[in-house]
Structure 1
């Protein structure tokens, strides 16, 4: 629910509460004042009426009222509890109406003196009753009433007017409040619009237009946000320039380091071919060497081997940094339509020559026999070698297996190992640059860049990787690539025949 709607509902709710309180108070005030005059007249008439008590010739108790005492349009009824008779005024008698009389045994009602509202045949009356006591005995009941139908209709109309006018007022207030809230919160809409524009386009030069006085709350908020955006833009531009300079440095350094490293490796290979035979037989072919010379030859041999290994490691690191520099610079690979199986078979053949301790297995590759992908063959080979070398690195014993899977529109290359595995909490981080699992630090060589390069190659090919791992039980990487599987033509499945 938006702030605008919440504010409008709050305003409308407060207004509705105020109108309800006012309407109830006003209605009860009108009810009191409308009936108060009628009650006063009825009570005054009831108290003024003289009731005659007499005994007739047959010793019957007779009750009567002097008709001259009756004033106004009042309805009078006198009930004789002793004889059971009833006397009514002409207006009651002619209308065929009579007020209800409480039973004499119900002293709470029969001895009650005061007002009561009654309905007789659908007609509303206010009745004041006065018990007639003679010789400390209840002998009769005087009831004086006034017709209140007009007052009831008046109050009913007033109630209807109050209800409908309140509803109309609330509806108008809700509509006007919604429009006012929209107008008042328009600067916030501008803030949201500018923030979305920045989010979609990363354009930090966007500023929020100022509407209304600059010194009110919304004006100060807009000014503060524009100032914040200006500082963020400046910081972002500085960081972007620094990042570009860093990318240029890494790219330039990688390019510059490749040549001397290649020279070092070439010279080390030359020295190994020239010096080692001389060190092993300094006095001529087959001539024995002294212990000191043998020790010196061993030191030279170990030093050249270390230099060679470090030069190879530096070359790999420089190559990885160059690949990542290309990725950061937005390098676009040249892609063509190509068959996937020949690339996988070539990688499988060359993988058996990699340094390893685990057994190398090539499983079932029939799932990608007809798979065609759009990609770069060199980078696809590099992608597969990264996962295979990574598997060899963390599999000190057991085996590493290459196989294939297939889905509706994807080809999957599976690299499975029985190595040390990983904790599942580490899986989301393995494609981060320079990240290495804690269990492997100090035990295996590496820079932590291989899987980052693999992730870049996968992203460039629109692929993904599925990781299943368990500590001590190995890992399985499934490399999924978008692929098509055209049906083989007759010429592809016919065996060649001689003539």
Structure 2
């Protein structure tokens, strides 16, 4: 369940949205708190400025000292109503309270005078009745001396408002969380419908209908690359299965021929009594046929191991001149029997590769050059280098290969001339050659003219 894309999308989206929602709520909470505090600041500042201005007028008229108490009561009607939560007082420079609001008188307390200054000093403190208040203190100079004006408003209503807001948010958050989760689940379910359809179509494709392809038109844009990649994979699988079936069919056909020959020899030999020489001849023919079967089976095993990547090449530095000399010694007896000469020229070029594998490559190529050569013909081997690559060219004076057949000769079980019976070979050698050369980072090219001969050119990276 935890591996569900839908569930992961829901969880991640809800988590992100929850953080976003919480961030918005915190932002609004602190903004609201800041706004209410600013409103309280403006209120107490307005009261102090009004009181200070009126006292300045009284000072000009010469009434300040004699009518200070009456002035305080007259200009602070709101405080005169003895409402709690609203306070003011005027303090002399020596700390004597000259005037204070009735609410302070009832509380029998005063506002603390902290660091008197001509600059407005806003503070949030504990009020006379234990509530939180927003207090402003500011000092003004008059003829009777320096006076500190203080006004304070209770913040209890503000805190109650903020508490209510906080409760609403806490109650709303789970509901929003659930609604968001359901919404995201429904949206992702709708969005993943095309993926479900895509999966259903993929599930319908089996070994029997690998030719079927996913429709890329009308598919969601996000799934188009997946559909294209899947179709490409299906094409490779179809080609691979087709090659495998063809390979099995060809292998069965190739092995059926020598099996039929062996059975025929056995039937003929056992049909009547024969002399020792006849039995010996039959056994020899059967042995030759069995050898050919073994060769075919060994080559099939090599190709199978190459296809399954189970062959482990052991790269070492190899001098191609030395390698080709060994190949020449190995094959020369069969060339002499046909009157064919092998000429080896060039220079020593070092490559890094698997000695056994490269021996197989060049043995196959030279054997073919002898097998398909004309009597008393020539096989020329030239070793050289060009632009960082080692080049081995094996050229014969044989029958040549038709141009339309050149690309096919590397196909498994393909033979240019199948009319020659057992002398033609298994049709697997050149397929093995190409696979080994490509595994070494090289390539094989063929140039041929019918009636004049063929040239096989193997190029591989030089060893540093």
Please classify the TM superposition score into its range, dividing by the shorter chain length: 0.3 to 0.5
TM-score by length of 2: 0.47
TM-score by length of 1: 0.44
